[in-house]
Structure 1
Amino acid sequence: MFIDYYWIFSDECKMYVLFPPHSVMKAVVHRIAYGDWYAHGYTWIRREFDTWLLARLDQLIDGCLIDEPKTWKYIKRLVLNKKIVSILDIGAHIGGYSVVLGRRISGVAVEPMPDTFKILTYNILVNHSNIKALNMAVYDGATSTVKLCRSPYHSGADFISDEGDIEVPQTTLNDLWNKYGPFDLVKVDVEGAEDKIFTSTEIDPKYLVVEVRSRTWPLVRELISRSYRIVFVEKLIRSKKVFNVFLEHYIK
């Protein structure tokens, strides 16, 4: 059904199936009959809003949002209640948030790592998500590019470093807001560079989700000083010192 999108991966196409299964039972039957709806370390993840996400095995936790169930459930409820109709997903990975929500709302997903971005783009296409994907990093705007390092653990932990060997263009949060915004929700998950993203920003989305660790907690205090209140804090399951902070903007 989605064979038109198969060209995205060029020579890598042989590692992917042509289309996702459309229901759990059809998936089981298809797997038994053809044995080809996962292959070579890739699999399909069944998600809400009738979506399927393609993922490598090391991307399953991030694709299913197993690390952050409270954050996901809260955002999904806001979307269903029409409190959120647009999202800017910075550090979108394979689309665990943006691709799934893109079946109900519009938005922009930013993912800097090229191979992860390919999967994100594929997931947007096969799910017909109303999401625009950008292959770049969001940072402080001091230079035109940044370098990325691969995490030895999983692709959701790739990070910006001067010692990285992958160079990608960078943009700023202000530029994205001015070009594509405004957005009701801005989600930022950039493995410790969150404070750099909010340098000299002038935006005030209604909702913010920011991943923080010990070094970046001062950013939360800064956001509170800018008329945000903390709705909740969720500790990520895989880490003792990494948290999602959900904030809501209010008028004093």
Structure 2
Amino acid sequence: MNAPTNPQSNVTPNVTPDITVATWNINSVRLRMPIVAHYLKEHAPDVLCLQEIKTEEKFFPFEAFAEAGYPHVALSGQKGYHGVATVSRLPIRESSKLDWQANGEARHVGVELVGRDMFIENVYVPAGGDVPDRAVNPKFGQKLDFLGRMTEWADALDKPTLIVGDFNIAPLESDVWSHKQLLKVVSHTPLEVETLKRFQDAHGWIDLGREFIADPQRYFSWWSYRAKDYTKGDRGRRLDHMWASPELAKQAVSHSVLEEARGWEKPSDHIPLITGFDL
């Protein structure tokens, strides 16, 4: 699989963590199972959290994951849209499926790593439509309300938790290709950034990506399909995140992104992130 040079990969290449957790908005797991299998073979995270699986549970490729060495699965599926799945080489126990959208959409699944003091929450935050005004765009209001329900949940959280997924918000200026040009574009508006900051403050979440790739370094995880060559102009955004409870964050020892995955055959518009922990 040919790919361009990746300036963000192998951020901490010489660390061998105890457990690794990856997240990837795959944009249809059945369509992209070949590149998922390739990723699992080459990078072998212990746990992989997928978003936008776009399938009902009965059609999920359980057998393909089992053949790849990932027999443990927790998922929340939906026909044709949304959906999240957490697959693991290690035993996991489903702990929750929360409806932060308040309409039954499949956007969250939580698991506990059996025998380990870690809970992993896999979330797909709504994109929010095109207009950053809830008065004329209900989808934008739904996104803000989703984050509000997440914040209420986080405020009462009392266990070592890693929350990962596609947050659909790039909060920092260095998380986007042009802060000035995207200030009025959904995913980087001040209102979304402020709303996400309230969620972060509710539990004291540590943004693991930025612990290892410090601001103001460039850090992107998504490039639009509209560009035939995603490297031309490098118009990326950091929409995908891995955040940890304060105590758990102290156990994070590595973090990397695989930008070359954006150049694979029939790629997702997102790339995988992976964090290593010594538990």
**TM-score (norm: length of structure 1):** 0.41
**TM-score (norm: length of structure 2):** 0.38
Greater RCO, 1 or 2 (C-alpha within 8 Å, sep 6+)? 2
